[in-house]
Amino acid sequence: MKNEITDPKNHYLDTILKHLNFLSHVELDEEDIKDIEISSNKYTDIKVMDFLSVDGTSPEIVKDEILRLKTTTNLILNSIEKGFEKSSEKLDDIFKKIKGFEKFHENYPPYVKLNHPEEGLKFYKKLKKEEYNYSEVSNLIGGKTRQLISTEHQRGKFGVYDGKKKKISKEKLYTYFINELEKKKTT
């Protein structure tokens, strides 16, 4: 495989793309379009003269070279057009994802992330109150007693324990649940 930086074809294609980019940002009037056609005709005339200047050139060889240039030009233009079509499709997909992301953040607080497991998002939807006592947490999580929840709370598993509060906030409970899901994934 050729090095993309040193491959002369990439340099020429890059030059063509830069010219197209420039032309796409300029208001072209009829006179500009005529100038482009004249320049294109001059280019093809010069190429024909180049082909004719080689000894032993026949009309068939010149026509073959012109056809090769025409085919290459069409290939480049078609490739560029396909690239624009793919980019347009990707752009639509990106905007759909952005809209979905915005809608997600309208419905969830900042600590609930879009990349959290589906199970975590389902758990969040169950949380109707802002604070829960140990028995409620035990029922919501399942598989842990009220006493174990109390011990984990005092040990800081639900965030910093202030020593007074016997309730766990919705945010800390959700964060704990996500952390437990991630632990299960890694083991």
**Residue 159, phi-psi category: left (phi > 0), alpha (psi -120 to 50), beta (remainder):** left
Q: Look at residues 19, 153, 158, 142 and name the one whose alpha carbon lies nearest to residue 77.
A: 19
Q: What is the pLDDT of residue 142?
A: 87
C-alpha to C-alpha distance for 187 and 183, rounded to whole angstroms: 6
Q: Distance between CA atoms of 99 and 89, rounded to whole angstroms?
A: 16
Q: What is the pLDDT of residues 93-136, one digit of tens each?
A: 888 888 988 888 888 999 999 889 999 999 999 999 999 999 99
CA-CA distance, 178 to 184, in Å (whole number)?
10
**What's the rounded Cα separation, in Å, for the pair 187 and 178?**
15
Amino acid at site 102: E
pLDDT of residue 172: 94
Break the chain into its structural domains and give their ranges.
Answer: 8-107, 118-186
Helix/strand/coil for 132? strand
Q: Taking 70 as the threshold, does the pLDDT of residue 23 lie above it?
A: yes
* Secondary structure element (H or E) that encloses residue 19, with its range: helix 8-24
| 32-42 residue pLDDT tens | 889 888 988 88
DSSP 130-184: SEEEHHHHHHHH-SS-HHHHHHHHHTTBTB---SS--EEEHHHHHHHHHHHHHHH
For the cut 90, the answer to whether the pLDDT of residue 80 exceeds it is no
Quick check: 2 pLDDT over 70? no
Confidence of residue 9 (pLDDT cuts 50, 70, 90): low
Backbone angles phi, psi at 66, to 5 degrees: -65, -45
Is the model's pTM score more than 0.75? Answer: no
Round to whole Å and give the CA distance between 145 and 138. 6
- For the segment 65-92, the average pLDDT, to the nearest whole number, is 88
